[in-house]
Structure 1
């Protein structure tokens, strides 16, 4: 377990339920015991975005062990009692046996000698009877130790707030724990306790942030008994493994526990602050459970009552915008980086944080050994937009699979001096693993590796993403399940109109794929794998490498999805599989042009059957068509409808029998066939000379005459 991470793969709106657990405020019936001094720590200069804590700074922090390792955090509130989160101890609605848990107190580093630390067995675990799941509140638990803790400088209880205690919104408080330093990125050895400063957010502000649709349009209802802390821009937060740990605020020289780490949507994500259990709300419940314990928890009177804090109006909520992916115009990429290595051509990459550039590892692998990148980094330089001088390189980190897996052909270069991102250059946004780039997304090509500029002035190579089914089945295996939204895709397939119109095939694998969402650019794919010009492009998705990039850089701009629209039918949510392959391969497509009857007659120098249509393939495509027999010829009308225009003549690649003249026979035989008006079919004016132009006489080919873009598909199933 850990702080509970909510990363759903279906749309969900969480709403409050009637009868949610709420304790009424209780005033103590007597003064707190004088002999229990709480909330004191050793003087010190001060988890995602956190840092190592100093020994003795947080003496109430405990580690809860199960199965021999750390699972959750907790706080010592009395010699025999620890406060934690209910979800740490629940499995399928059942409370786990207390005997399987132990509490480690006074520990700073969980690796090596545990000087001054000691362990206590757990006699009982108590959770509220109405706890069911973290999103519905009441996420707290009390652990009764089998024997009291040994109090000392490294082991002291924290103060608890009374129900009437008010923490001022905006107060800087501290969360602690041994949890992940980023999503799916465990705390490295020697497992030193981490601390992070978080600001308390008012309920109205927090609700405003969580009402903004996030990944999969997911929102959250903040319930009574919940407390939010963090920052709209994210990047500092608790994470998995911090669950049950304390959020403490200092008042009058004492530390009061304001919250218990409960759950969050990812870790450190924009407009998604951490959600904590508000300890003050549960004063009565805590007192009831520990009744009779001597000494019990301390609930000191608040040192100074804060000024009246009226409920914050929703309109005061400021939504944080992405700090990455902003370009003045397509093609002017402020994250474009050129890595200059002596003796080599420049290698193009992308700035992903203040200190790191992402580029192909193949640019830097030594020619004589694919596993040994060069180490003479002193001579390397990185050129960034709007920077007067070249940046020096401090470190090169190659992906462990880069030398043999084209999809992992990545390396990260650390700059010796971080760049100021308040002006150009700016980093590009990177997608989380669950990011779903919608079909129809507008994308562009950008230089990658040792690629050359696009041919022709102003060639921006605008593209549109195809649907996941089409892309996956072209390059996947027969009968394979198509990844659903939320699962990393195997490939991203954009269709580029420019290359079709220009007749040029950008098949050199030196491009990256940038896709835009609400004005923000994401680095979506790298290196199109070999596909020639016939099939749609296929790029390796970057999102599968998000965790690796995040782990190395500890600061790359992984951004949540910004647009999410299932479409009217929600077909993307249905499980789909790929059809069987054709005899010679997978379904393929080619863009062709229908020639006028006159040019068709001249090219073939003979009498063709009436109604025969001739087509012209783009250069290099004809020999790639994997035909069996009688493939269909389809035209798309200006309204977007696809029309079956012809069928191949005796398996020919260029000659097709027109469907139109057979309308009567087809209608009589089928009965339900739908024919468009004649205006929906190709038409050329009659008349003119019947003589063939000299340049076409006995020609083996002709200039392209683009009248329609056609899709030729083979879906012949076995």
Structure 2
């Protein structure tokens, strides 16, 4: 019973269903009586936008139960008939048995005694013969009850529109149901029927929105019989569990069912309104299957034709909503930066994520309320939050730590609710947060922002610019050998940015915590968080924030989770091939070359070996404390005295050498394995860049001298492409002969700050 397309069990859009019965005889030419008892609820007040409904406000709403609980919604159209969505009852192409379903009528809250409600068994389920899946249309179903419903103040049928009925674009209609209040966020107790006002969108305007790449990089072709309702800016919508429920519009004092909740892309996402099955086009189908029922559904005449309005906007002129979060006047001037002031502690830096909520590390505050003798509520009275462009400090109403904050460093998060919401129309502003399926592209431009305690203020000359490295490279550096790399759309385990300014300055930031901000089409996302205990291992690994998006959304009910804005994945399929991690040592994976190398450093294991200040050789980092070089490049001919040597790591090829430093070279021969890692196969012999001394015969000597070096097992032999290249032929070692041990030179380095 997967009710949605692309995002299973997520947003469902409502659609007007076609056709309904005109009168008890179901004769198309017969006029309905004047006192039709449809579409007239008990008068009650209604609140706009995702809120509790009043008892009796929607007396045609039905809850359809399967397996003992609510699964889908429906609408009562006649005492013995319910209208719902086909996808609720079709599983793997097969219609589920009607006997497994029950209809609950007249229910307002599904928690506790169902006063005034009653239950009916379902005798039959009918769906259009051409229905296969929601995106192909025809998503409606008729359910015949085993016995008629008992009509009364809280149980009444809704009116159905005739095939000729037209609902004006922009009409304010209402959707109802017991579905999720947000994506993956179920309706809380006491499970009161929810209502939300949605506006009908014209076909051209709706198609324009769905023609733009958005969530999941998908577009949608609207089909006849589909209806759109919602808002370009999102944030109001139906969701999982609302499937099959009604979308109703009031005309002439009666409520007509315009649509049936069908499917959607997420719930309440920007530029992704809900998709509904339009009811009016299915009038004939409904009449054909309900004919003979006494009484049957009613199809009153439309009170008046909708007034012609201005023509629908053409696709190129349609209204596209742009993100309202993540807008910064300039990088480094973060309008969402929040400082939480707790008496007796240093300021804790966080980020404003909505009008009323600040996200910050839980470790800043858990110690403040850990003592049983101190009341967290009393502590909060003295807490203050400083926001940009706000003259006065904000007071804190509530602290909500992440449930795993005390034992999981990646969940070191807390949300602080402000006493009063702030106006985000100017400053301050909220930062955008990523959905779980967000994929930050390799090469994305990022920056650091202060996070937690201890981060020094960054001046204009120390703004750390960064570029994200590939997910494969980042994941495998920290993951186990042979681990599968998360595909785009799956939450990553880590985000690795390369910060050139930090590397050039030789700084480590080991005593500071930082947040990672990444930009997409001019919008900044809070992408990851780094604690102060990660050491200096490079590249920096940030914990992705997107795995916590659902928790933040559940607590705040208003944080700005935004869809991915950039989708340039490069060559088709490049980012969607399953990859595994190469061999690794205790210090991390070996042979990893970033696909987006920073600062033109193409090979991160290359070292510049400066010998006695007069020549430069090429070395290979084989372990954190050891560099391998060619003997003839380091030692002068006939000499056994080791000269003064300096080794530079992480800059080979990044900048030209002074003219006074001739390059003695001795380049290495590197071959790539099928798993993607690079293996050192040989070092150039004296006087040649084409003949190489094989490394293989020296395996025992290297292993004995450098216990940390990783020797690739024979089963991990390099992979040679079938293109006929002889760069690394399988018999390479034999071609150049076995090299004497004196051909290679191991340099022991002082303790390294790994980076």
Partner of 2:633: 611
Return the alpha-carbon distance in structure 2 between the equivalents of residues 672 and 78 of structure 1.
79
Partner of 2:543: 540
Q: 1:665 aligns with which of 688, 691, 698?
A: 691
Q: Which moved more, 1:279-288 or 1:579-588?
A: 579-588
Contact 2:5 2:135 in 1 (8 A): no
Correspondence list, 1:62-461, <5 A? 62-308=62-308, 310=311, 312-366=313-367, 369=370, 374-375=376-377, 376-453=379-456, 457-461=460-464
Partner of 2:677: none
SS in structure 2 at match of 1:153: coil
List per-residue Cα deviations over 1:372-420 (Å, max 9, x = no partner): 9943101000000001110000000000000010000000000010000
SS in structure 2 at match of 1:247: strand
Contact 1:529 1:538 in 2 (8 A): no
Aligned CA distance change for structure 1 residues 554 and 367 (closer, same or farther; 3 Å): closer
Aligned CA distance change for structure 1 residues 518 and 25 (closer, same or farther; 3 Å): farther
Partner of 1:556: 559
Aligned CA distance change for structure 1 residues 296 and 197 (closer, same or farther; 3 Å): same
Shift of 1:365: 1.1
Contact 2:683 2:693 in 1 (8 A): no
Return the alpha-carbon distance in structure 2 between the equivalents of residues 454 and 211 of structure 1.
43
Shift of 1:581: 1.9
Shift of 1:263: 0.4
Aligned CA distance change for structure 1 residues 319 and 569 (closer, same or farther; 3 Å): closer
Aligned CA distance change for structure 1 residues 438 and 35 (closer, same or farther; 3 Å): same
Partner of 1:688: none
Shift of 1:646: 4.4
Shift of 1:523: 0.2
Partner of 1:490: 493
Contact 2:684 2:691 in 1 (8 A): no
Return the alpha-carbon distance in structure 2 between the equivalents of residues 546 and 138 of structure 1.
34
Contact 1:79 1:148 in 2 (8 A): yes
Shift of 1:315: 3.5
The question of 1:471 aligning with 2:493 is answered no
List gaps (5 residues or longer) in structure 2. Answer: 9-16, 593-603, 618-629, 636-644, 657-664, 671-681, 696-719, 729-748
Contact 1:77 1:158 in 2 (8 A): yes
List per-residue Cα deviations over 1:236-269 (Å, max 9, x = no partner): 0000000000000000000000000000000000
Contact 2:513 2:532 in 1 (8 A): no
Return the alpha-carbon distance in structure 1 between the equivalents of residues 162 and 184 of structure 2.
36
SS in structure 2 at match of 1:536: coil
SS in structure 2 at match of 1:287: helix
SS in structure 2 at match of 1:522: strand
Return the alpha-carbon distance in structure 1 between the equivalents of residues 471 and 449 of structure 2.
22
Shift of 1:665: 2.3
SS in structure 1 at match of 2:381: helix
The question of 1:511 aligning with 2:511 is answered no
Contact 1:592 1:617 in 2 (8 A): no
Partner of 1:594: 608
List per-residue Cα deviations over 1:36-73 (Å, max 9, x = no partner): 41000111112995000000000000000000000000
Aligned CA distance change for structure 1 residues 601 and 287 (closer, same or farther; 3 Å): closer
Contact 1:48 1:181 in 2 (8 A): no
Shift of 1:664: 4.0
Q: Quote the RMSD (CA, aligned, Å).
A: 3.2
List per-residue Cα deviations over 1:647-700 (Å, max 9, x = no partner): 89xxxxxxx9766833242499999339xxxxxxxxxxxxxxxxxxxxxxxxx9
Correspondence list, 1:520-535, <5 A? 520-528=523-531, 530-535=533-538
Shift of 1:506: 1.9
Shift of 1:174: 0.3
Contact 2:176 2:247 in 1 (8 A): yes
Aligned CA distance change for structure 1 residues 296 and 22 (closer, same or farther; 3 Å): closer
Partner of 1:39: 39
Aligned CA distance change for structure 1 residues 48 and 98 (closer, same or farther; 3 Å): farther
SS in structure 1 at match of 2:286: helix
Return the alpha-carbon distance in structure 2 between the equivalents of residues 577 and 370 of structure 1.
47
Partner of 2:627: none
Return the alpha-carbon distance in structure 2 between the equivalents of residues 62 and 459 of structure 1.
61
Aligned CA distance change for structure 1 residues 475 and 374 (closer, same or farther; 3 Å): farther
Contact 1:354 1:421 in 2 (8 A): yes
SS in structure 1 at match of 2:691: helix
Return the alpha-carbon distance in structure 2 between the equivalents of residues 142 and 233 of structure 1.
33
Partner of 2:61: 61
Return the alpha-carbon distance in structure 2 between the equivalents of residues 370 and 402 of structure 1.
17
Aligned CA distance change for structure 1 residues 281 and 597 (closer, same or farther; 3 Å): same
Contact 1:5 1:240 in 2 (8 A): no
List per-residue Cα deviations over 1:428-449 (Å, max 9, x = no partner): 0000000000011111010000
Between Structure 1 and Structure 2, how many residues are aligned? 639
Return the alpha-carbon distance in structure 2 between the equivalents of residues 279 and 316 of structure 1.
29
Return the alpha-carbon distance in structure 2 between the equivalents of residues 176 and 644 of structure 1.
74
Contact 2:362 2:401 in 1 (8 A): yes
Return the alpha-carbon distance in structure 1 between the equivalents of residues 79 and 587 of structure 2.
75
SS in structure 2 at match of 1:611: helix
Return the alpha-carbon distance in structure 2 between the equivalents of residues 481 and 475 of structure 1.
12
Partner of 1:576: 579
Return the alpha-carbon distance in structure 2 between the equivalents of residues 154 and 214 of structure 1.
41
Aligned CA distance change for structure 1 residues 495 and 145 (closer, same or farther; 3 Å): same
Aligned CA distance change for structure 1 residues 664 and 278 (closer, same or farther; 3 Å): closer
Aligned CA distance change for structure 1 residues 390 and 280 (closer, same or farther; 3 Å): same
Aligned CA distance change for structure 1 residues 130 and 47 (closer, same or farther; 3 Å): farther
SS in structure 1 at match of 2:349: strand
SS in structure 1 at match of 2:142: strand
Return the alpha-carbon distance in structure 2 between the equivalents of residues 48 and 36 of structure 1.
28
Superposition TM-score, scaled by structure 1 size = 0.83
